[in-house]
Amino acid sequence: DAGVIQSPRHEVTEMGQEVTLRCKPISGHDYLFWYRQTMMRGLELLIYFNNNVPIDDSGMPEDRFSAKMPNASFSTLKIQPSEPRDSAVYFCASSLTGSGANVLTFGAGSRLTVL
Amino acid sequence: DAKTTQPPSMDCAEGRAANLPCNHSTISGNEYVYWYRQIHSQGPQYIIHGLKNNETNEMASLIITEDRKSSTLILPHATLRDTAVYYCIVSLSGSGSARQLTFGSGTQLTVLP
């Protein structure tokens, strides 16, 4: 398996622009997580899905952020409009129900810079 | 979830065992201890987890004290590639459902040549 695949790896955009980050989880995994990492706040959970349904989105910072999972093999995290404080590395992770539910496999991350 | 306390940094000589401590004095009976690490510029990587008993896998060993208030992650023969931030996390993992993993600031382990 190729692991969790995220795109783009790097994104530089200007304030006010829409940003879409993409994630392909490991085939067969039924949990998908979006995390954000900054120097100031560390790793923060934004939202997670189970069987494509959002379970907990309490970590989504504000209405400018939205996440979808239209099917088991794809998820997006969208920021509209983007702001400089959104600059961070965004990680997607997936896991499988059962004893491994909290054994997350992370992607390589998408580094976002908002100018 | 219970809070964890880890030293901010540790050094270890290459080839020696690295012992990373974690305090979780408020852990409840059904909470697991998880360890992840993050090598610079990469996503976090799962290492090992346990409930009560000591655990070992190909990467590391996890020693949990009898009262479960602390644990130690042991990398038996540290290499330069083990230089990373190591996170100790306590989380419920019941009924096969995932729970939120809260990553603290972790321990920066530096393996010295």
In tens digits, what is the pLDDT along chain A, a chain of 115 residues? Answer: 689 999 999 999 999 999 999 999 999 999 999 999 999 999 999 999 999 999 999 999 889 999 999 999 999 999 999 999 999 999 999 998 876 768 899 999 999 999 9
Contact A48 B49 (CB under 8 A): no
Q: Which residues make beta-bridge pairs with B61? A: B56, B74
Residue A50: its chain B contacts at CB < 8 A?
97-98
Residue A105: its chain B contacts at CB < 8 A?
46
Q: How far apart are CA A28 and CA B68, in angstroms?
A: 33
- Shortest CB distance from B98 goes to which of A43, A101, A107? A101
In this structure, what token pair is assigned to residue B91?
């989380």
Nearest CA of chain B to the CA of A93: how many Å? 9
> What chain B residue is nearest to A106 in terms of C-alpha separation?
B43
Helix (H, G, I), strand (E, B) or coil at B73: strand
The answer to whether the peptide bond before residue A81 is cis (omega within 30 degrees of 0) is yes
How many Cβ pairs closer than 8 A exist between chain A and B? Answer: 56
Q: How confident is the model at residue B9 (pLDDT cuts 50, 70, 90)?
A: very high
**pLDDT tens-place string over residues B25-63:** 999 888 899 999 999 989 999 999 999 989 999 999 999
Q: To probe the interface with B, which of A23, A58, A102, A106 has the most B CB atoms within 10 Å?
A: A102
In this structure, what token pair is assigned to residue A65?
């952020």
Q: Which residue has the tokens 């496999």?
A: A105
Is B21 an 8 Å CB contact of chain A? no
**pLDDT tens-place string over residues A22-41:** 999 999 999 999 999 999 99
> What chain A residue is nearest to B105 in terms of C-alpha separation?
A42
- Angle (CA) B67-B72-B73 rounded to 5° is 140
Alpha helix stretches (DSSP H) within chain B = none
Which residues does A81 contact at the CB level (< 8 Å), separation at least 6? A15, A16, A17, A18, A64
Helix (H, G, I), strand (E, B) or coil at B80: helix
Contact A43 B100 (CB under 8 A): no
| Parallel, antiparallel or unpaired: strands B70-75 and B61-64 | antiparallel
